[in-house]
Amino acid sequence: MSRHFSYVVILNLIGLAPLATDSSVWSSPPATKGINATCAGEWAWHKELIMDKRDSLYNAITGREKSQRCNDRCGREITLLKDRLAGLDKIIRIIHMLEKSDDEYILRPAHKAEGSLSYDTHKKCIVLTVGSTANFIHEITHAAQYEAGEIIFDATLDKSYLQDLYDEVEAYQAQFAYDPSSVAALIAGSVARSPEQITTQWVAGLQSSDGEKTYQEHSRIRVNIHSKKATLLQAYPQFENQFKSWADDWTMKEAPGIIYKKQTLTFTDYLGYSQVLR
Ligand SMILES: [Zn+2]
């Protein structure tokens, strides 16, 4: 997920009177389907690498479980491998879901180590800018979060909103399942050696090579399209004045010019977001 979350933009956005005046910008674009054909080959390539990794983890678990000499350390390795296997199973479900989405997704090459998820306001499609397969996994996890109503896009600007540290925990845990070294290579307060060690505190400690905290602008509490005024105030206390005029039951869906997923039920149930959204 791009960390270039603009508070200036959200300030303007939230400052606008939250009244529905143009229904065309309120919902996701209809009629587009799944993965854009121009990147089907690259999509399939990442998918195959993930399937192969899943098979190799499964075989590694089976091999250790059969071993007569499996000690405590071996037992811990099996636990970690099983955690990673579960993570890859979830990623494979996400891949299948995105392939059937009523939104269109397109892959573009990342010119930096960091990928991003954005909305192409002209082509009306969601852009996954990715490099490695670990990177691909991170960004499609954010895509699933869009499908589940955890994040939203601006209809006219290259911006996304409602990111929180929990979204990044999930994305880095998914990335870890495929390639732990890609997570260990990051500059953090500590090296994450298991998915459980990837916490909101760990994400908050990530920094760029020049020492800037990567996710300092992300909300520290969980927010999504159902978050009401009180939650948004907690997430973005610096915008108290902008939220003041809101009714208590308004959410970011009431802001104009927002792209959000209306039909989240299938994804939320499938990915286990249901409790979060209720
Ligand atoms: Zn991210």
Which of 85-94, 196-205, 222-231, 250-259 bottoms out in mean pLDDT, i.e. has the lowest? 250-259
pLDDT of residue 234: 93
Instruction: Give mean pLDDT, residues 71-76.
Output: 90
pLDDT band of 48, cuts 50, 70, 90: very high
For residue 147, give the H/E element and its range.
Answer: helix 133-147
Q: Does 52 score more than 50 pLDDT?
A: yes
Instruction: Give mean pLDDT, residues 228-244.
Output: 88
Expressed in angstroms and rounded, the spacing between residue 175 Cα and the centre of ligand 1 is: 10
Which runs of E-coded beta strand occur in 21-139? Answer: 34-35, 104-109, 116-120, 125-130
pLDDT of residue 112: 77
How far, in whole angstroms, is CA 80 from its chain's centroid?
22
pLDDT band of 33, cuts 50, 70, 90: confident
Expressed in angstroms and rounded, the spacing between residue 245 Cα and the centre of ligand 1 is: 31
Q: Does 19 score more than 50 pLDDT?
A: no
Q: Does 56 score more than 90 pLDDT?
A: yes
Query: C-alpha distances in angstroms, 77 versus 44, 61, 198?
Result: 30, 8, 17
* Residue ranges near ligand 1 (ion) with Cβ within 5 Å: 1, 168, 171
Rounded mean pLDDT of the chain? 85
Expressed in angstroms and rounded, the spacing between residue 139 Cα and the centre of ligand 1 is: 6
pLDDT of residue 25: 47
Residue 212: Cβ within 10 Å count: 10
Expressed in angstroms and rounded, the spacing between residue 140 Cα and the centre of ligand 1 is: 10
pLDDT of residue 83: 96
Expressed in angstroms and rounded, the spacing between residue 2 Cα and the centre of ligand 1 is: 7
Instruction: Give mean pLDDT, residues 204-222.
Output: 93
Beta pairing partners, 126: 105, 119
Q: Does 244 score more than 80 pLDDT?
A: yes
Expressed in angstroms and rounded, the spacing between residue 3 Cα and the centre of ligand 1 is: 8
| SS3 category, 130 | strand
- pLDDT tens by residue, 127-182: 999 999 999 999 999 999 999 999 999 999 888 999 999 999 999 999 999 999 99
pLDDT band of 113, cuts 50, 70, 90: confident
Expressed in angstroms and rounded, the spacing between residue 110 Cα and the centre of ligand 1 is: 14
For residue 8, give the H/E element and its range.
Answer: helix 7-15
CB burial class (10 A; 0-12, 13-18, 19+) of residue 250? middle
Query: Do 113 and 64 contact (CB within 8 A), yes or no?
Result: no
pLDDT of residue 68: 82
